[in-house]
Each structure stands twice: as C-alpha cells, then as structure tokens.
Chain A
Amino acid sequence: MLSLGTLLMIFSGKSKILKIISEIILLGAIILQVLFIIYIWISLHRPPLKTIGETRIIEAFFISVIGYISYKRYKYVLLLGLIILMSLIFVILNYFHPENYDKSLAPALQSAWFAPHVIAYMLGYAFLLCSALIAAIGLFAHFLKNNTIEWLPIADTLVIPGYAFVTLGLVFGALWAKEAWGHYWTWDPKETWAFITWAGYLIYMHARYYRPQKRIAALWILTFAFVILLIAWFGLNYLPSAQNSVHIYSSYQ
C-alpha cells in the first residue's frame, strides 16, 4: 500500500530530464515494494505467500521488475507503461480489499516447499503476464497498423523463462504434495488447470519452433494460453467443479 502513491508516478518520458526523473521514481517505487514485502514477512513471522492478497503484493513487485528490465533491454515505453499499469492494478486491488494480515499458517503449509512452490509460480506468472500484454499489443498492432514483427521475439524471450518457472512450480508442487498428502498428483481442479496452463504454453513454444512465420496464429495461441492461466489462477474460485479443491485461497479463515 505504501508503494501505491509512488507507483502512481508512471511516466511517459519525452524529454531527457523527465525520463531520468521518472526512472528514478520508478526505481524508488520498486525499492519501496521490496521494503514493504520484507516488513510484512517479518511482522507475519512467515513468508507473505498464503493469501491471494499477499500473492498480489509479490506479483506486483515481480511484474514491476520484469517491466523495468524489459524496458532497459528493448526501450519500448509502451510496454513498460502497460506493465507498470498491471502492477498498479494489483496494488489497487489490495488497497480496496484490505486483509487482516494473519500470522497463522495451517499445518499443511508449514513446509520447506511452500516458499519455492509459490515463488516459482509467482515469477512464472509474472513473465507470462507480461508476455500476454505483448500478445495484446501485437494483435492490436496487427489489426490497426499491420506490423507484428517486432513484438513476437520479445514475447518468446519472456515466455521461455516464464514457462521454465511454471514448470519448476508445478514439479515443486507435486513433490510437496507427496510429502503432505501422500500422492504427487490427484487431478485436483487446481492441479488440472495448472496442467492445462502449462500445456497451453508448451503448445505455443512448439508452434513457434515449427512455423515461426505464422505470427498471428502464435499471438492468438498466446492469448488463449493466457486466458487459461487466468482461470487456473483466479477463475478457479468461481467454478462449481472446483469448490472442493485444497487450493482455494481463503482470505478469511
């Protein structure tokens, strides 16, 4: 919440001085996010990874960092702007859905796998979220101006680490499940949707390898994969078939 104010200073750097000032503000905001996360971690006596609100904070931070690095690498202000906007949305959501920062941690979550599993997924989703923004930009550019070429390679660069982190998260989850529940995979709705998300990006990577020139199709695959990701991440809480899943986050115990 502290970072909300600072993050508000998203920039459209036109003049050189303005660019430098806004970059400093952005970096300041990111540092504030880190400090806030450390503060919650200490006051909760546990990593802030349990509830949906806590993961939003972590996600906002990861997205800001990825956005900033992408900006330094590719120099596209539009991309940075949209990514920071996304991060801001997470922060705002948290502002309007304040949670009691609750120190309790259920026995099942008291495991060395808890942090790696959630962090791997947060990182993976952060990368894939950013790649989804590129898909959106690419498709808009195609329908409005017909120049998709430059965007797709950036998407690929983000999807690969995103997918790698999601794979790590998936396997960590399975290894943890074996220690906690006795089996590594039970086709629990969350697990099934996580698998389908993983498969969606797998299809994207294979399609890019096989027919790299089919750019519009690739952008659409990326979009569909992202929709599935959203369902796996949030939509699950609303699906009737998923109400008995062990993964339904509870913001109120």
Chain B
Amino acid sequence: MKLFKESWGYAESFIIGAGVLFFSIILESANNYLRVLFPGWPFNFILLILYISILLIAYGYYRHNSFMRWISSVPASISSIVLFSLVALCSAIIPQTEDYGNEGFKDSLKHMQNSWLFIIPFLYFLTVLGFVVIRKSWNFKRKNIGFLANHFGLWLVLMAAGLGSSDLKKYAISLEEGKTSNMAYSEKGDVAFLPFQVKLIDFHIDEFPPKIAIGTFSDGKIDKKMENNPILLEKGKIQKIGDYKIEIEEFLSSAVHDSINGFTYAEGANTVPAAKVKVLNDKDSIIAQGWIACGGANTPLAYLPLSNSHFLALINPEPKRFKSTLEIISENNRTNTQLIVNKPYSIKRWKLYQLSYDVEKGKNSNISVIEAVKDPWLPFVYIGFYMVLAGSLFLFWKGKSF
C-alpha cells in the first residue's frame, strides 16, 4: 500500500490525526499537566494576524503540493472533526472539576478545556477549516456562498471563542438591598473593581402558587404513581389527584400559625404559604379537612393525613420571576434599571445579568447576586453564528448541492 504519495486520503489522514493527538499528549506532559494559559489582548490578536498570514502564504505558494492539497481536502476535514470530537467526548464522559490535584495525566483529563489535549486538536480543526475556506474563496464563485456561509461562519465562531477566551471576564457581585458596590469576584476568587458602581435598590420575587401534593407515610415522599401528583394550587377549583378531590377553601400566600384560626395572614420573615382544604373521595364524602402549610425555617410542614398511607401537603412555591431594581452609577451618569433573568443590562462594555439570590430566604431574600460579563470578541462570534444560521437556510434550500 502506497502512502503519502500523490493524493492523500483516509489512511494518511488517520496517521496525521493520530500524530496530532500524540503531539498534544507530549506537549501536555512537557507542560507538567498544568493549566494552559492563553495570552490576552494584544498578544492574541498579534498571533491571529500571524496565523492568518501563514495560512494565506502557505496556500498561495504551495497549494499544489501534496500536503497542501490534502490539508484542505475532505479526508483531512473528517480526521480533524473526528479527533476534536473524540477529545470533546472524553471531556463529556470524564467528570470535569476545577481543582488540580497533582495527579499528572489525570489532571489533564479532568480539565480538558485548559489542556493541550484539547487545544491542539482544536487548532488542527481550525487550521484545516481555515484552509478549506481559503481554497473555496481563492477563485470565488457565487455558487459557493452557501458553502462559505457554513464553513467561514464556523471558523469565525471557533476562532473568536478560542482566541477571545482569555479576554472574557466574568464576575459576580453580591449585593444587599440598599448597598452599593463595584467589587466583584471571579469564580476562582480573584477580586475585580468594575468601572461603575451598582446599588441594589430592591430585590423582588414573584412566586407561582405552591403545589399541592400527596405523599406516602412510608418514606415521606411524593407518591409518583398517582396521576396528576403534584399540581399547582388553584383557589376555588376542585382539583383532582389520583382518586382524591381537593377543594381549596382558603389560600394565604404568607401566613403564620394561629392556635385559634389555624393560620392567619402575616407578612415578613418566618411566614409560609398556607391553605385551608377539604378532601373528598370519589364518592364525594369528606375524608379530611383542615390547614396545610409549607415548611419554613421556623415552621414544620403542616400536612393533612388522608389515610394510613397517604397525606396531603404543600410544596414550597417556585419562583416565577425574580428581579433586581438597580441604580448604576458611573462618572457622568446615574441610571435605574430592572434586571431579570433573560434580560441583561449593558453598560460601557459590560453586560449585567441577574444571576441568583439568597435561595434559603426565598421570597424574603434581600440579597441579589449580579453577574458582570465582558466579552470583547463577542461580535465576531455573533457574526459567525448568524453566518452559520444563513448557511443552514442554504442547506434547506439547495439540499445536497448547497
């Protein structure tokens, strides 16, 4: 069998792919399995310019030799996709962690995205893809627009995501109501001072009504075999779980235990949702009636026994939306904004996200955690994404001959 002669195919691609993997393992061991740090601005940009220039020059002068013809070919593409996917597969199967434990190669496997094991195959993929784009644009024809949308779009996303990763800044600020701060913490614990102050005016949660559920006495858990178990409480309606009919006579979203009336409305901390219920069986006779209430920090769960095996209870309500009313203060500007999940706020080149809150206090949380993200290479990622979306439309339209 003749290898590496005239035109290279699957065999040569497999050998080169294996070589790339082997090279990445050697590099990783030479680096002592430590976290690979990628240079930030402006070095990543300089490297990019150098990289593109090398690709263009190499293609320009040497495009007729076997290696260059191979590197923009389909078998090379397949080998680079396979190799990169294999590495991604490892990171999907081996649980990834944040800490390094001096475990040598095992460390690399547990931090794949920060190891040469990942980065070299990624660069191999990017390079082959880059040459494919160059080859198809060298003598540009309009019929290649769909092809280029897909391939160049993907290249842009990968390049900007990869190179820009070192310029990506992500911090969390934890604020108490009424407090102002510009001090934020990264996941690793580094402190950063944002170029603007954030004041939390108010944090508010809207909750869904609690769910009513039927539990079993044997393990204290929800009886999953019962149809419709659990369901959102709806006052005034007769709700059915299994064979039980539950009527909600009264519902208090925020209550305290009262020895006379069962539960009465109250506000503030230490309150829980409570409901006065009547439970009927399928023959419409009353099995039980009384108050049920969610468990809180100082209140045990108030449940209603229905039989020897089942009881009715209220499950803690889930958040419907949570929002922070913020005042953002920078040198020449003061603005108010409301931050909710899925609606970030942009200031200077940062974007603020509603990240979380004091989950234990739930509705009464007076702490809000805001995330501040800065990603200068994002526009290129987005251009790439939209090109890929356009490329998909070409695929739909033209099918096989796209």
Contacts and interface: CB of A to CB of B under 8 A. Distances in A.
What is the size category of the interface that chain A forms with chain B? Answer: 35 or more
B342 A193 contact: no
Nearest to A156: B400
Contact of B231 (A98, A100, A164, A242): A100
Interface string A42-57: 0000000000000000
Contacts of A196: 85, 88-89, 92
A100 B231 CA distance: 6
Interface in A170-208: 171, 174-175, 178-185, 187, 189, 192-193, 195-196, 199-200, 202-203, 206-207
Contacts of B232: 102-104
A235 B201 CA distance: 44
A101 B393 CA distance: 35
Interface in A204-247: 206-207, 209-210, 239-242
B321 interface: yes
Contact of A189 (B82, B92, B320, B322): B92
Contact of A107 (B227, B322, B351): B322
A161 B373 CA distance: 35
B208 interface: yes
B78 A100 contact: no
30 contacts: A100-B228, A100-B230, A102-B230, A102-B231, A103-B232, A105-B320, A106-B319, A107-B322, A107-B340, A107-B342, A111-B342, A160-B395, A160-B396, A163-B395, A164-B392, A164-B395, A167-B391, A167-B392, A167-B395, A179-B344, A180-B342, A182-B373, A184-B385, A187-B91, A192-B92, A199-B81, A206-B77, A210-B78, A239-B92, A253-B230
Contacts of B342: 107-108, 110-111, 179-180
A252 interface: yes
Interface of A: 98, 100, 102-108, 110-111, 156-157, 160-161, 163-165, 167-168, 171, 174-175, 178-185, 187, 189, 192-193, 195-196, 199-200, 202-203, 206-207, 209-210, 239-242, 252-253
Given A111-B342, A167-B392, A206 B224 contact: no
B222 interface: yes
Interface string B181-211: 0000000000000000000000000001001
Interface stretch (B62-70, B93-101, B268-276): B93-101
Given A182-B353, A183-B170, A187-B91, A210 B318 contact: no
**Most interface-central of B92, B353, B373, B396 (chain A CB within 10 A):** B92
A241 B82 CA distance: 22
A182 B320 contact: no
Given A108-B342, A241-B96, A192 B395 contact: no
Nearest to B343: A179
B113 A187 contact: yes
Among B85, B319, B340, residue most surrounded by chain A Cβ atoms (within 10 Å): B85
B381 A107 contact: no
B341 interface: yes
A207 B230 contact: no
B81 A202 contact: yes
A105 B58 CA distance: 54
Given A160-B396, A199-B85, 20 more contacts: A100-B230, A102-B232, A103-B232, A107-B319, A110-B341, A171-B385, A171-B389, A179-B343, A179-B344, A180-B353, A182-B170, A183-B168, A183-B373, A183-B375, A187-B91, A195-B85, A196-B89, A196-B92, A203-B82, A253-B211
Contacts of A168: 389, 392
Contact of A207 (B78, B92, B93, B381): B78
Contact of A252 (B113, B161, B224): B224
A229 B262 CA distance: 53
B324 to A, nearest CB: 12
Given A171-B385, A187-B91, A239-B93, A206 B78 contact: yes
A210 B355 CA distance: 47
A98 B241 CA distance: 12
Contacts of B228: 98, 100
Contacts of A185: 161
Contacts of B75: 210
Interface residues of B, number: 60
Contacts of A183: 168, 170, 373, 375
Contacts of B33: none
Given A107-B340, A187-B113, A210-B74, A241 B92 contact: yes
B400 A160 contact: yes
Contacts of A210: 74-75, 78
B28 interface: no
Contacts of B395: 160-161, 163-164, 167
Nearest to A175: B385
A242 B343 CA distance: 27
A168 B95 CA distance: 28
Interface in B351-402: 351, 353, 355, 371, 373, 375, 378, 381-382, 385, 388-389, 391-393, 395-396, 399-400
B351 A106 contact: no
B242 to A, nearest CB: 11
